Structures are given as structure tokens and as C-alpha cells.
Amino acid sequence: MKGKLRTISSIVASSTLAFSLFVSGPQGNIKAAEENLELVNESFDEVSDGSLPEHWNLIEGNAEVQDGKLVLRSPATSSPSRVGVPIVEEHGDYMFEADITFVSAVENTRWASLMYRIQNDDYPYYQFAVRRGTSALNGLEFATRNENNRWAVSETNFYRENFEYDKSYHLKVIVSGNRVQQYVNGELVIESAGATQWSNGDVGFQASGSTVQFDNVRVTTYDEELPPIENSNAFLPEEAETNIINPPTIISGPDTTGDASKAASSLLEVERGQDGLLEANGEPLSDQLRLIRNEKIPVLHVEEEDLEAQIVQGLDETQTTDVLVVSSNPDIVEAVKELNPKIRGGLVYDGESLNKNDLEALPFQVHSSKSKVVLIPQKLLSQEIVYYLHNRMVSVWGIGADSLASTHELIHMGVDGIVTNNPEHSAEAFSQYPENTIVQRPIVAAHRGVPSLAPENTMAGYRLAYDLEADMIETDLHRTKDGHLIIMHDYTVDRTTDGTGAVKDMTLEEIKKLDAGIKYGEEFAGEPVPTFKEFLQEFKGKDVVLLVELKAYDLEEQVIEEIKEEGMMNQVVIQNFDMESMKTFNKLEPTLATGYLFSAGTPTSYQDKLDNAKKMVDYGTTWNVNLNASYRTVYEEFITYMRQRGMLSMHWTFRDEDPFADKLREGLIGPITDYMQWLTHSPINLETPIQKVNLKVGKSRNIQAKGFLSYRSGETENIETELYAMNNDGVVKIEGNNVEALSPGTAQVFVKHTFTMLDQEWNLVSEPIEVNVKE
């Protein structure tokens, strides 16, 4: 990946150095004004052991100062410990800070908190709770203890690591009106507009099922107004309207001269200025970040080393938490993510060519740098390259689109993003497609083979899935009593075979005697339970990727070993419901893509949907996993949020046509299904014999197209199509597949094929054909 370093602007053709930015909402870092009053400042150094500071109140439990720290001890959640600190009633907006150290915890779910706006010296109140296991999705909370003395948890998030024992972390809460910001070590982790019930009150500390120390307590009044929750970094940028399903996101380049209002992201070339401060496209980076805040997603292109700490500091100061950092140097991306793993990473491909060896190495480089997206110059891209990378869970952004024709070309390659200095071409191209246009068929994973047609998790089912043109074949792994990896979904063999018993209690010899086909049908009698090695060997070297789910614990090392033994590293993607397993896998073998399987409810309000999407994308980014959620868990805003930020994901398990079609229309790109046959006979794309036609007035031309049916074989066939024209202005007349020249000028003519898939109609459209008419 490391070669001659080039800026994006040297890759994207442009004539004028300019950059279109759009003013956002409240800007800059939020700091308490200098005139704010200090209400509490306590380091406990002058407080006698066994006591509390003057006027501090032990509400319940066990709390005292020991060795210069406030220590709260709680043996169980049923016996919490709480301390209150009085705050003058007139001060309800304040900044509350303290250092916290976990000494012990009953388990990782146990917690401690900063309480604020405490009423009646007891409850109700708000609190910032931190579990010892802060890396869990609910490791951090904004919660309310209500008037009925019950919990109401309205916001949750996670931190980049579990809080270690005997290690100090700095907590901060800013509460202003109904707005709340909660921080860990200076990182904004939770924002809420939920402090609506009480406008003032005391502060305090709590421990539940844990022993914790607090130190360096400080409370100051806060007279600034926090930005509205709508400007909380969870947003969907406005994009160009289109009828294309799952269109590429638009990233305006650093030399953009035209209208970038419909671009979702802005690419900023980051360098060190003469004064040592960071610049982006020739302007101070901090100014650029503030200018596009909550309007565009910043994409920082960095090629100069040793800027990582300054970049992260600049992001923190401007409260920019939704950002992508890209470089042709993987070390730079990794260094940035070491400082803040929530920052998304991407690689810029700067090679002069992209041959087979380069292509095979590229997914390994992307994943090992903890990235999910690669930026590739348009001249090096093809539909086959994009397809190869998609199957290995790499999002592809094409750099180019400097004309309308080249924009259409990138769209039809199936790229996920278009990096361009001419975003107006993308907006125009997007407008030229009819309703329900699929540029390419989605990447489809055959779930346990094709259980709608053959017994699940058998070689018969897997071979059928391959014959039905599955892009991926999904499978499940367990380990036998004598240490062999076998293919089985359940923990027991009871449901799918003629035997009984837990897999972990049976030897491979015993399992191989079972019939895994007879329960499905007589025609499959005698079908054995496959081993993982047999599964790998069957598809080695074939154009298919294996989506492997680890069902049992501690399989990671053995799975990697067997994949490597078969030379199959470039054909496997891993997933699991257990995030700890995926963390382990990424440490042992960071070159492979991993996915976190999960299912959750769908938020109801628009802002809650965006907040949830941001939290999950941050979570996936932090642990370098794809978000392989159940299809009921994701919704249109979530799917769009992931697409705009360069993240591909697979979603399970489609068994009904209607929700399958609905999710495809929402932009879902990676369905996992029991019914591979539903998509098998759908064409992939159209190929036209010509790209330009010259006609004289009064003459006509019949234009046909062929449909590609298979990524794998390149098979084509003649299919029924019709033409339509854009930018016509009376230049041509269209009837069916015939174009007639009417008057001098130029028209864009497209070939369209309408087909039925999932019992609904979809359109497949060719790249435009330029028709030039002369007298």
C-alpha cells in the first residue's frame, strides 16, 4: 500500500483550487466562561480519615474519606452507597467534574455514578452512571431516579475500554437547561435533552455493587448555552435526490468548484502549516471543522506523519465525533485510531496499477489497518474489482467522476462513494434513473446453504447454494469432544440429524455416523455432517466467499489455523454474536473481516433513530467489526447512516419476500437468506454494444442490450428492453428500442430492462448512450 504518496487533489482532475463549505450550527468547543463561580473544589487532602467534608451528607450506605480520597463501598445493588453535596439553589446550570477509580466490583455490570440536580436531599435526581464494564453498549448511562424512586434510563453508550481496577478516569457532566453532556477523559460520550424535570439541585456520588474512589471534585457554574440536541453529531447530511436504490454517497473533493450542496461528505487535505498549526485545504483545520459541523461529514486526508495527536486534539476541541481519516500510509490510520478508536479509518490506494496480486492483498491491508473503506482512482476500477472487495466487506469509494459520462461509469461499477471535485455531475447523473433502479444486484449470502431446498448445513445444500450463484455461503461452527470443528447450527444434533446429544459431548467418529439429511427428505438420506475442513476444501479457489459464524467458545485460534492450512484466507469472513470473540479474533488475525451479530428494537423518533445509528457505527468502528444486525433491527436511516460513512454489513435472515423487498428498497446491500433461488435468475447489469451514436435528421437506430446473469461466469443473454431519453429537448424520438433523429443536438439515451424479483418490479438501466444528431 505504501508507495509514492499523492494527495487526493492530484488524483482528482480539477482546474481551480476552491472548496465549498456550508455554515453549521453552534460552533467551537464548549467551555465555561471565565466569570463562572466555583461552587465546590475538594481534593480531600485536608479531610480526616473516616469522615466526610463539612456539609457533605451520607444519604445511605458506607462512604468515608480514606487516604485523601472519597471511598464508597457497596456490597450489592440492593445496598447502594450515596453521598450528597449541597449546591446553592439558584445555581442549576453547572459543570461537575471528578476522578473515579474502581477498586472492586461484584461483576462488570456493577457501577458508580455522578448524581446531579438531586431533589429533597435524596431523590429524584439525574445521574451519569459508569459500569466497570464500560465497553458494553450500555456501559455508560444518562439515567433518572424518578419520583417513585425507580430508574428510567434514557441514554446509553460505551467507552473504548473497560474501566481498569486501580486506574483513575476523569468524569465530567455539563448540565444547562434541559441539555446534558457527559464526558470520560475529555471525550464526549453522551448528549441528551432529557433534563426537563428539575432545573436545579445538589450533586453527589453513588456506588452500586462496587467499591470506588472519587477525587479532585470540582463544580462550577455554567452560563453558556449548549447546542441543540439536533446538532449533536448524529445527523444525515442532505444528498442528491435519486431513484437509484443504494446509490453511492458523494464526497466533495478538496478542489471542488461547483455546487457541493448535495455531497454528504467534504474531503479535507490536512497538513502542518508554517506556524505549526494544522491546515485543511489551506485554511485552519479547526475553522473548517466548525464550518461544516452537522452539515457534512469531514473526511481528513493525511499523508504527513506525526500529526495524529494534533488531529485528535483538534477533533476534541471542535467536538467533532463523526469523522473519517484516510491515508495511503496504513501506519497513520492506525496511529489515529490508537488515540481514538471511534474515528473511522480508510486507505487511499496510490498504486499505478491494480493487478490480481494487488487486489488479493488489498482487503488484508484495509482490515489490518482497522479500516472499512478504500479510495481508488477511477482509472483503476472495474465492476469486477468492486465486486471482489464487496464480498470481503470492503467499501469502495471511486476517485474521479470529472464528467457526466465518467460519473455514470462509476455508478455502474457499483462503488459505494464518489470522491469528486465536480459533485454537480453526480447530482445530475442521479436524477436520470427511473423508480426502483437497481444498478447491481446486492451481495447475497446463502444462509446455511439453501434450507428452503436442501437440508441446512450440509454439503448438498452448500453445493446447491453455489450453483444458485450465491456470493457468500453462510455456515456455523461447533467443536466435538475430541477437538474437531464441525458444521452445525444448534448446540445439539437433535433437530437436524437422526441422533441426539450435545456436539461438545460427542466425538467426530460418532457425529460422522449421523444422517443429516433424512429428516429433510428421503432424497437426502445418508447426507453426513461436514467438518470445517471439508467445507473449506469444497470451495477452495472457487469464486465464492464463506461467511463463517463461530457458535461455541474459544474457537478462534483453531479456526484461523484451519483456514490457513487450506490456504483460504482470501475467501473467509468471520462473524459472531459474542463481541468478545470478535475482539479476540481481530487481535489474533487482524487481516480478516469480522462481523458482530446482534438484534435490537427499533427507536421510534427520528432523532432517536439517528442517535442509535451513530452509537452502533461508533461501536462497530471501535472494535473493527461490521454491524451484521437482524434485518428487523436496521431501518432506512440506519442503512443510510452506514452507507454515508463507508460501512458494509450483512443482515439476517430473510424468509419472506415482502420484508426482503422492503429492505432492498431502503438500501440494504447484504441480505442473508434461506431462499437464494429468489434472486438467482435476476439479471445483474446491462451491456450495450455502443456508447455513442451519430445520426442525421430523419434517420433512426435500433439499440438492444444484453443482460449479465452471473458475476461468476460472465454469462449473458438477450433480454427484453426499451429506451428512454434524458436532456432530449426534441432532439430524438423514442419508440421501444428505436431512436429517431428529429433535430440537431445531443441527447442522452438509456436502455432499461424491467424485471420481477421478490414478486415486485425493478428496473435495470445501462450507462447512457450519447446520441449526436446533425443535419
All three cell numbers of 450: 439453501
- Identify whether 412 is a catalytic site residue: no
CB-neighbour burial class of residue 53 (10 A; exposed 0-12, middle 13-18, buried 19+)? middle
Which single residue is written with the C-alpha cell 460505551? 158
- Out of 301, 412, 425, 447, the active site residue is 447
Rounded distance between C-alpha atoms, residue 123 and residue 59, angstroms: 10
CB-neighbour burial class of residue 309 (10 A; exposed 0-12, middle 13-18, buried 19+)? exposed
All three cell numbers of 734: 423514442
Q: CA dihedral defined by 315, 320, 322, 326, rounded to 10 degrees?
A: -30
Would you mind telling me the total number of residues written for the chain in this entry? 775
Q: Which residues contact 219 (CB under 8 A, 6 or more apart)?
A: 38, 39, 40, 41, 85, 87, 94, 95, 96, 97, 203
Q: Which residues contact 387 (CB under 8 A, 6 or more apart)?
A: 414, 440, 711
Q: How many CB atoms lie within 10 A of CB 2?
A: 12
Rounded distance between C-alpha atoms, residue 349 and residue 773, angstroms: 41
Query: Could you tell me whether strands 671-673 and 445-446 are parallel, antiparallel, or unpaired per DSSP bridges?
Result: parallel
Amino acid at residue number 200: N
Please count the CA atoms within 13 angstroms of the CA of 522 that sit on its side-chain side: 0
Rounded distance between C-alpha atoms, residue 44 and residue 205, angstroms: 14
Please give the helix or strand (H or E) that residue 363 lies within, else none: helix 356-368
Query: Could you tell me whether strands 732-735 and 706-708 are parallel, antiparallel, or unpaired per DSSP bridges?
Result: unpaired
* DSSP for 178-194, written as a single string: TEEEEEETTEEEEEES-
Rounded distance between C-alpha atoms, residue 201 and residue 145, angstroms: 13
- Identify whether 489 is a catalytic site residue: yes
Separation of CA 677 from chain center:
29
Give the residue numbers annotated as catalytic, written as ranges.
447, 489
